[in-house]
Structure 1
């Protein structure tokens, strides 16, 4: 019986090589017996948008709100990696009796995503040890995974590619160059970035492979509609978590839970979350490039119209440059 050992696209093999080189372990390479230093920031201002509240919150209050956001940031990655891992395992089936290089690449991908979920559970435990009680992560990873995986593979891979790309951009452009951040927090996302770099390549390859299966504009219209539904679902999650995090912040610091300050904090947290998890990925040049090759002009118009209400959610500096 013939065994397939090569792939038509050399990028599958390249991701395997890179995966072997950057392989890391949670305790040995990242945690190393450390705890979080709560005198330090977790997220840079370019992600948290905390600087937009500098006129109403003290430096200590800003730092704590940023730490709340950083806690949610880690939990959100643990959340999305639940459905990403499940989808990649599902896709690997299509390579079982075919391209063994592609199969190995996807198996490594899923193994790393399982490790990432364990990492972010570990992070949550460490943060919970140091921060006041009362924090809530308002969404169930399994419920979200069930919703996402109920959509077609094209839409799920589009969302996944978007996530992998923005996770890299966040690290390279914001977290890595930032000064004064928790060294442990920075290390967590350094090592996460090292493996996500391969995942983004595989997401794109599998997305293109899935796109080739679509036989008509009607099928692609349906796929685009499902992607829009997924983005709407993500935004619903962000709204719920922004409310939960704002409530935790205000209660912990014994600030009024209603009124102008509460409204402004809540709006800023939601804006930051929309930037972090939707808009920064939608604006990523490579995501726009790939998506632009897969959809026609009316379909792209539908996507842009769905994203239009979120277009405000960019950091102030970026908004100024775009104007």
Structure 2
């Protein structure tokens, strides 16, 4: 599929929204309802939990879901701004598109942080997130820029898949939380197109060896994320215990196994196997798609 900076700029301006408009009703989120579809969190598989306990677990996962997006956008934002600087003396349309991209990522970070404050007030107890965010961002940004572009593309198409396949048609979710996810999705749809153009430009002067190295680095970032998500499972378990009471050891182990698999599928496998991500790999990285598919299968196997 062919994209252009001009069409991305035009579509992004149509899709723009204001933080205050989205957050206007965030304090009215109904904590008597699920906040995320079970397809993303799999708490229904925790058969030892009753309905109220599953709802609590779902809400803990919803908080982590948004805060993980805020975390990854902390490396996406400086990455995009670096490339905007490179475009300053070349293409005015590319510069404008990248500046819009960066502004929107900063807006998303602010949105999710303000939501987190409102969430903890309504939820009634603390939910922690992995970090420090700057340290994780630094680890990712230390990898080759082409690998960072690939993980950014992964995250953007992953967001599309979550919203379109799971969130949009779920009637059980709180509508205010669903609107927040819709707002995030509608701007990420433009970012995925822009990142595809960025990768197309970046690979033009890369050797086969450099492209192979980018795939290896992308998979290292995936491993960094996998370890982080494993830690997040423990933080979620402790957040649930603070809110709903401690679980016996056997149930804690069942939680870990279930939630590690759920996180790996939602945040790793979905992006690694997205058709648009694989299409970019097939086009520019000979053998890359098969390496990524193999690792994705291992993560959910």
TM-score tier, shorter chain, comes to: over 0.9
CA deviation profile, 1:233-269 (whole Å, cap 9, x unmatched): 010110010111012213432223x521111112212
Matched, 1:209 2:201: yes
Equivalent in the alignment of 1:63: 55
Q: 1:83 aligns with which of 75, 80, 103?
A: 75
CA–CA distance in 2 between the matches of 1:307 and 1:283? 7
CA–CA distance in 1 between the matches of 2:240 and 2:266? 19
8 Å CA contact retained: 2:25, 2:176: no
Q: 2:274 aligns with which of 281, 284, 297?
A: 284
TM-score by length of 1: 0.89
Q: Which runs of 5+ in 1 are unaligned?
A: 1-8, 313-323
CA–CA distance in 2 between the matches of 1:93 and 1:75? 28
8 Å CA contact retained: 2:33, 2:173: yes
CA–CA distance in 2 between the matches of 1:133 and 1:16? 41
Matched, 1:18 2:7: no
Equivalent in the alignment of 1:200: 192
- What is the aligned-residue RMSD (CA, Å)? 1.6
State the shift of 1:305 in Å: 3.8
State the shift of 1:170 in Å: 0.6
Residue 32 and residue 136 in structure 1: after superposition, are their counterparts in 2 closer, same or farther (change >3 A)? Answer: closer
Equivalent in the alignment of 1:249: 240
The number of equivalent residue pairs is 300
Equivalent in the alignment of 2:181: 189
8 Å CA contact retained: 1:250, 1:262: no
CA deviation profile, 1:265-310 (whole Å, cap 9, x unmatched): 122121111111101111211111111222223x444334433321
User: Counterpart of 1:263 in 2: which secondary structure?
Assistant: helix
8 Å CA contact retained: 1:30, 1:191: no
Q: Which runs of 5+ in 2 are unaligned?
A: none
Equivalent in the alignment of 1:229: 220
After the TM superposition, which residues 121-140 of structure 1 pair with which residues of structure 2 at under 5 Å, given as runs? 121-140=113-132
Q: Which stretch of the first structure deviates more once superposed, 136-145 or 147-156? A: 136-145
State the shift of 1:165 in Å: 0.3
User: Counterpart of 1:180 in 2: which secondary structure?
Assistant: coil
8 Å CA contact retained: 1:15, 1:198: yes
CA deviation profile, 1:34-82 (whole Å, cap 9, x unmatched): 42211010110111111212x2110111111010000000001101111
TM-score by length of 2: 0.95
User: Counterpart of 1:292 in 2: which secondary structure?
Assistant: helix
